[in-house]
Amino acid sequence: MTNDKPTQKEIEEAKERIRKIALKNLKAGNLMNLASAFLVHKSKAYGQGGNSAVHEFKYWPSFNSNLKNYDLESGEEENLFKNAILKSRQEDEIYSGNVSELGIMKDCAEIMQNSLDQIKISDLYSELMGGSKKVKGELKDVYIGELMPKIPKEEFNKLTPDKKEALQKSMELHKVLVDSYQSYLTDKAVSESLGERKSSTLKNLENILTED
């Protein structure tokens, strides 16, 4: 009888392979622009000005381009528009799909969230947010998703008080990391969009007022 259970080396190799795919998603500009636009719109924290600027300078340019993501299992490139249409079809009948803008944006945000859980804390801090300091040794190689283990309530209740406390702290750190990255992402999107709007306004005025 063969033992089909993967070895620890195989598990680590699979995690590393998925991590690299996840980072490709998180660095895909158009995908993250739509994820950012969804979060900005949903949060209502940036007002009408910030929301409309992101809509004009992040949302539309990304929608008008090749919007793609990478499947975390296979690593294959996927077309988000095609997937959204296929998912919305009624009983797989052709031309029966009903795709919404908000639905595609939400798909992008979910891809972002799923991808975040597959990368390391050091990836988030250094590669995605541009941090330059050294991440603590006990944290740098921890995968973000491992901070939020899927444990049934009955199993959690059986844990010792010390283990319960440690698990709670781990879950709190997961929330801090995700919330911090989402805030970074939305702040960046709004800031860049408002900057582009300012430049566009000046350029339009120059076309009217200045000579070549």
Contact 177, 146 (CB under 8 A): no
pTM: 0.86
Q: What is the pLDDT of residue 1?
A: 47
47 — pLDDT class (breaks 50, 70, 90): very high
Q: What is the pLDDT of residue 3?
A: 62
pLDDT tens digits for range 152-198:
888 988 899 999 999 999 999 999 999 999 999 999 999 999 999 99
- Confirm whether 62 is domain-assigned: yes
**Total domain count, the chain:** 1
The SS3 assignment for 143 reads strand
Q: What is the pLDDT of residue 74?
A: 94
Q: What is the pLDDT of residue 30?
A: 93
- Confirm whether 5 is domain-assigned: no
Q: Print the domain residue range for 142.
A: 10-209
Contact 37, 59 (CB under 8 A): yes
- Confirm whether 24 is domain-assigned: yes
Can you tell me the mean pLDDT for 30-41?
Answer: 95
